[in-house]
Amino acid sequence: MKRLALLAALTLGAALPASADITLTDLKGRSVTLPDHPDRVLLGFYYEDFIAITGPGGIDKVVAISRAPWAEWRPMQWEAYKAVYPMIDSLPDVGDTETDTFSVEAAIAAAPDVALLAGWQFDALGEGIAQLEAAGIPVVVVDYNAQTLAAHLASTRVIGTLMGTEDRAEKLAALYEARITDTMRRVAAAGDAPKKVYVELARKGPAEVGNSYGKGMWAGTIELVGGANIARGQVENWGPLAPEYVLAEKPEVILLAGSEWLSSPEAVRVGFAADAAEVQARMANYLTRPGWADLPAVTSGEVHAIYHGGARSLSDFVFARYLGKVLHPEAFADVDPQAELAAYYAEWLPIPLDGIFVQKLQ
């Protein structure tokens, strides 16, 4: 009987899949090993990308978040996801590195199997990373803010490998690579002279000049589609441009980067649940600035609102293609960015696309 019991135990053990370590290289070039796919995830940023890559059930493994970059930066997007995933509203909040409120203690208390952070969060935490790791919490870094094709693809595959959803990750990586490659091909084929582009973070209203971007964010998008960014060389990363400089540069295209800033009454409010008439009125307010009525972008009708959250995600190819269509209308004549964004949401995300994400001033 003892021999039979031992034989049965050995046979059962052989039938069970062996647990294998997961080793990956994150976007900081760090080799990270976990004993298995995590069941408990601390999610710092890139919420929609995580949901798209992990698919149904992925959000159920999130046990803590950095809440402010989602609920406060994108409040209407947050509400849309909360309607589908009510549990996110009760997730422990570990704080926000941007406001220096990130709590390593709160992160440890949530007992995650892994902390999945953005590159900028990793940089800001400094010694906090070592504290998390000393508590037995591996840290994995992804980086869509780098705005390179390589970083987007690598980040997508890292999340897929980490969460065991490699098939979805590969399909999303293939989709993104195909769209960006097609965008670059169209820009190269257009062969026209670069147009001057001015982008401003349209949060403060026309009375106060918002940030423009010399590197990263919209600067990367402008360069990808062959525009001439007037902020290049004027600000290192981001910062306001002098009004006199903008007038002197005579931009041919103006992008007003807006978002769901409910506490900013004069902001160009685009994103989820945005109202088209309100977007038009807020954009028109910027044209009352001294000298703006005579700018080439204004006289030719090339003033556009664009969703600020769209510059660092797996769906940011849509916003690149929108600007590509503005700068090279013939080369992008058959491209419908709004339809591409709606299709992306329909296939990869649990909520429909409902709002204003790009709009031309009429």
pLDDT tens-digit profile of 180-210? 999 999 999 998 899 999 999 999 999 999 9
* Region 255-281 average pLDDT: 93
Q: How far, in Å, are 19, 111, 359 from residue 62 at the CA level?
A: 22, 11, 34
Instruction: Convert the pLDDT of each residue in 73-89 to its tens digit.
Output: 999 999 999 999 999 99
| Dihedral (CA of 103, 105, 110, 111) sign | positive
Question: Is the CB of residue 293 less than 8 Å from the CB of residue 194?
Answer: no
CA nearest neighbour of 303 among 358, 347, 230, 229: 358
Q: What is the pLDDT of residue 147?
A: 86
Q: What is the pLDDT of residue 1?
A: 37
Instruction: Convert the pLDDT of each residue in 152-183 to its tens digit.
Output: 999 999 999 999 999 999 999 999 999 999 99
Residue found under tokens 């940089």? 123
CA nearest neighbour of 134 among 120, 158, 115: 115
Q: What is the pLDDT of residue 302?
A: 98
Distance CA 66, CA 100 (A): 12
Strands 31-34 and 22-25: antiparallel
* Region 312-334 average pLDDT: 96
CA nearest neighbour of 101 among 144, 54, 67: 67
Residues 214-240 as b or e (16 or more Cβ within 10 Å = b): bebbbbbbbbbbbbbbbbeebbeebeb
Q: What percent of the chain has pLDDT over 70?
A: 95
* Region 99-123 average pLDDT: 97
Distance CA 273, CA 77 (A): 8
Q: Given phi > 0 = left and psi -120 to 50 = alpha, else beta, which region is 101?
A: alpha
Q: What is the pLDDT of residue 324?
A: 97
pLDDT beyond 80 at 12: no
